[in-house]
Structure 1
Amino acid sequence: MQTQSSPKPDLLSDPISLTLRKMTIPMLFGMITLMLFNLVDTFFVSLLGTEPLAAISFTFPVTFTVISLAIGLSIGTSAVIAKALGSKNLDEARYDGVVALIVSALMVAVLAFIGYLAIDIIFGLLGASERLMPYIYDYMSVWFIGSVILITPMIGNAVLRASGDTKTPSIIMGFAGIVNAVLDPILIFGFGPVPALGIQGAAIASVIAWSSAVVLILYILIAQKQLLSLDAGQQTFFRAAKKILKIGFPAASANMLTPIAMAVMTALVARHGETAVAAFGVGSRIESIACLVVLALSMTLPPFISQNFGAQKLDRVQYAYKATLKFIMVWQFAIYVLLIATSHWLSRAFADDPHVIEVIKLFMWVLPLGYGIQGIIILTNSSFNALHQPMNALILSVIRLFIFYLPFAYVGSIVAGLEGLFVGAVIGNIFTACIAYRWFIKYLEKVNQQQSQECLV
């Protein structure tokens, strides 16, 4: 057993709460800088005016669709490799990592190419006006091309997390976030010989930041950690790819439902004007920061669950799941109180238009109240994937978004306008969280009974 001071905890035997804390804290610090990608972009673009701010707000559902594919594939990568490591199959885990990098890059390249060709169609359907299309094209034409670069550090970090190492991914994410923050004002507004590129500069800054992360992650995986190997052993490329895609594709599909729902939400908000869309875009980026701990746990809890699942230690799985949910409910309520206290300052930091400011405040008073409930759904989804039950996670996402979240938001918008839309979304999450928790606990009980019967036989 490793000591408590070990930088890499033993996921199968170390104390559960301590292990999750040691994994999550470094991940959290890395994600803080990574999440500043969107927030920093939004802040500097907001200085260009309301129209560029509205344009970048329209891009979020689309960019998140590609990112969701990458996240889903990283989930599949982490679950497969962590289970192999839990079962003591190190060579299999190393080859799975190589296959995951190749397959993921190909899939993201195809999606990005389609998106690049269909920019006008996609954003026309989202409701973007002709005035905003030049801004959108400037940003997305660069972003789509560069998105292929994004997948490598995301998959590479999944390989590291599967082994229990969350410190190194946090350093890589933090490094990329800092590079982006430094380059944003230089490329957007110009500096010395560098011309002012406007909203396109924000996209270029992101691509350069991702490229620097690619070099760093490949060096660490190949030269330092030796977590990648071309030795297939008894596997074939297609067999390894099938294992990853069996979890990664449903996980990606579930993740990609979120930006689709966000696109519908953006279209609903667009009925209230471009200023409302601009405010909603700011609120969405504030949400990414407010839910940072949930997102960090959604990356650190699955490797813990997968390794213990592979070692048939379901008691540790259930304890970790329940303890994490209790913590996140308390934490997110504290975040809600903090957002209310700072809503006046935050709204004015991102907007000058009085109407935009008021909508940002409305967003912060209503939606963050349900972030703890939303955390239950996110963590249950990631836990299902960790147990190699991606279809359960996909079905849960469909239930959340298309049976509760969007319908409740739509009805709320009809009854009480923009405020009703936000309230309806929160109520929809409450219903889904109740279903998610009960479903997961029941599934664990079923697996535990099956393992007990196998032991008796």
Structure 2
Amino acid sequence: MATSAPVKTLQGKFVEGSIMRHVVNMTATGSIGLIAVFVVDVLNLLYISRLGRHELAAAVGYASTLLFFHTSVSIGLSIAVTATVSRAIGSGDYPLARQFAASSLYLIGGISTFLVIVTYPFLASLLALLGAQGETAQLATRFCQFILPSIPLLGFGMATSALLRSVGDGKRAMFVTLGAAFATALLDPLFIFGFGLGLDGAAIANICARCVMAFVGFYAVLKVHHLYAKPSKEVFQRGAKAFASIGVPAILTNVATPVGNAAVTTAIAAYGDQAVAGWAVVSRLIPMAFAGLFALSGAVGPILGQNLGAKRFDRLRQTMRDSLKFTLIYVSVAWFLLAISSHLIARAFDAHGMAEDVIVFFCVFIAGSFLFNGSLFVANAAFNNLGYPLYSTVLNWGRATIGVIPFVYFGGLWFGARGVMAGYGLGVVGFGIASVWLCFHVLKKIEHRTQPDL
């Protein structure tokens, strides 16, 4: 993987210039990539559903639930990549940044491969635990047998995208996800319908997309930025320690979100299939409407990491302030657009009765609560990159349990399906406020610890 090309001089792009400009640029490029991935996921399910067998769509659902665990691991490890490499870049230690980058690729490749080897023999049993039965279970197992060996490619793609964000190259980081999305969009119909491979074709297209993702990422990291140098034993051990201290809590943090969503699904199921259908639309609407917030949590990490490495505490505080301002503006615009188009959205999904009521109620009243969700996302990114990843784990699990279960239970008990949605929105308010307060407290603590004379 080493390259003989002349080594470029890395620069801490985020330690100077307008913080808000950095936040907006990095978030914009990240949003485009995320939206493309979300759209392709919807198209993928649409293609499968058009094969006319409900077992196929159900098999993809079960397989996706199982494979999400491996995706969460890759996401958590990519957070550790950003934290370690961006901090080294900000401090001006470019040789260390390159060695950390190489260490991260070794570790992600090794960990993801190990998880594949451990999981593969037990696919059928794991899918049975999720509730898959009969032909659906067989189809889901076959789909996973195709997809699972490509997990290391997904890990490499996410790691290289994180490395590109760490050096401030948001455009090429966007190309990594866009490349995978375009490959899936082109190959899915070709393999599923053109070659008549059905579900197997969807799996093969997915693998090809991950190959594209890894290739684009490695090209940009190795050939464009030359962000690779064989690590010494000491640096590799430091990198492994950082992965353990940041990656594990980050993985646990990511797993919390589907737990909270499952609690909402369970609560709203008491009000019938139409209510569940409305929630299903809402759960797909959220990542599309608030992709900017998800991208912001990835964008703010390298900005904080570089400025922490450079000990620019004034810019750390400004990064948080500007990120929160961006969150307020973004949510306000998204909420307004959702509210005025709520009935159009319901009609687009052919929602009637309770389903329409759930969708419209979310768009008009609950969407605004994502101001606090966004604040929590930003704070979690800060904790992961400032060396306090357990804070993000505790806050996210608190939100997914204490901030969801009692709120949706009593909301449903008192006000029905609307109450469940209201509980889902209200439960995050306290955690959003607490996360912002705690984040600024951590920044102050770090500054005093680094500069004892203060």
Q: Under a length normalisation based on structure 2, what TM-score does the superposition of the two structures give?
A: 0.86
Q: Secondary structure at the match of 1:39?
A: helix
Partner of 1:20: 23
RMSD of aligned alpha carbons: 3.0
Partner of 1:339: 338
Partner of 2:198: 197
Q: Secondary structure at the match of 2:401?
A: helix
Matches within 5 A, 1:52-71: 53=57, 56-57=60-61, 60-71=64-75
Partner of 2:39: 36
Query: Structure 1 365/143 Cα, relative in aligned 2: closer, same or farther at 3 Å?
Result: farther
- Cα distance in 2 for residues equivalent to 1:50 and 1:362: 33
- Cα distance in 2 for residues equivalent to 1:424 and 1:50: 36
- Cα distance in 2 for residues equivalent to 1:449 and 1:14: 25
Partner of 1:381: 380
Q: Secondary structure at the match of 2:318?
A: helix
Alignment of 1:162 onto 2:161: no
Partner of 2:95: 91
Matches within 5 A, 1:442-453: 442-453=441-452
Alignment of 1:404 onto 2:403: yes
Q: Which structure 2 residue ranges, 5 or more long, are not aligned?
A: 1-10
Matches within 5 A, 1:218-297: 218-230=218-230, 232-233=231-232, 235-269=234-268, 280-297=279-296
Which of residues 5, 13, 18 is equivalent to 1:10? 13
Deviates more, 1:65-74 or 1:343-352: 343-352
Residue identity opposite 2:196 in structure 1: P
- Cα distance in 2 for residues equivalent to 1:265 and 1:132: 25
Query: Structure 1 222/166 Cα, relative in aligned 2: closer, same or farther at 3 Å?
Result: same
Residue identity opposite 2:41 in structure 1: N
Residue identity opposite 2:327 in structure 1: I
Query: Structure 1 154/252 Cα, relative in aligned 2: closer, same or farther at 3 Å?
Result: same
Query: Structure 1 127/303 Cα, relative in aligned 2: closer, same or farther at 3 Å?
Result: same
Pairwise CA distance, 1:148: 2.7
Contact 1:64 1:259 in 2 (8 A): no
Query: Structure 1 375/135 Cα, relative in aligned 2: closer, same or farther at 3 Å?
Result: farther
Query: Structure 1 130/350 Cα, relative in aligned 2: closer, same or farther at 3 Å?
Result: farther
Partner of 1:4: none
Pairwise CA distance, 1:18: 1.9
- Cα distance in 1 for residues equivalent to 2:272 and 2:206: 29
- Cα distance in 2 for residues equivalent to 1:143 and 1:346: 33
Pairwise CA distance, 1:130: 5.8
Residue identity opposite 2:290 in structure 1: C
Pairwise CA distance, 1:321: 0.6
Matches within 5 A, 1:98-177: 98-126=102-130, 133=137, 136-177=140-181
Q: Secondary structure at the match of 1:445?
A: helix
Q: Secondary structure at the match of 2:234?
A: coil
1:3-26 superposed Cα distances (whole Å, 9 cap, x missing partner): xxxxx8821111211222233322
1:89-140 superposed Cα distances (whole Å, 9 cap, x missing partner): 1111111112212212332334445555555555555556767545544544
Partner of 1:372: 371
Pairwise CA distance, 1:333: 2.6
Q: Secondary structure at the match of 2:13?
A: coil
Partner of 1:316: 315
Pairwise CA distance, 1:390: 0.8
Residue identity opposite 2:435 in structure 1: A
Residue identity opposite 2:402 in structure 1: I
Residue identity opposite 2:408 in structure 1: A
Partner of 2:6: none
Deviates more, 1:268-277 or 1:444-453: 268-277
Contact 1:57 1:282 in 2 (8 A): no
Query: Structure 1 154/284 Cα, relative in aligned 2: closer, same or farther at 3 Å?
Result: same
Query: Structure 1 69/263 Cα, relative in aligned 2: closer, same or farther at 3 Å?
Result: farther
Pairwise CA distance, 1:306: 0.9
Partner of 1:5: none
- Cα distance in 1 for residues equivalent to 2:409 and 2:327: 28
Pairwise CA distance, 1:421: 2.3
Query: Structure 1 418/139 Cα, relative in aligned 2: closer, same or farther at 3 Å?
Result: farther
Query: Structure 1 413/122 Cα, relative in aligned 2: closer, same or farther at 3 Å?
Result: farther
Query: Structure 1 236/306 Cα, relative in aligned 2: closer, same or farther at 3 Å?
Result: closer
Pairwise CA distance, 1:237: 2.7
Pairwise CA distance, 1:50: 9.1
Alignment of 1:80 onto 2:84: yes
- Cα distance in 2 for residues equivalent to 1:111 and 1:277: 33
- Cα distance in 1 for residues equivalent to 2:227 and 2:328: 36
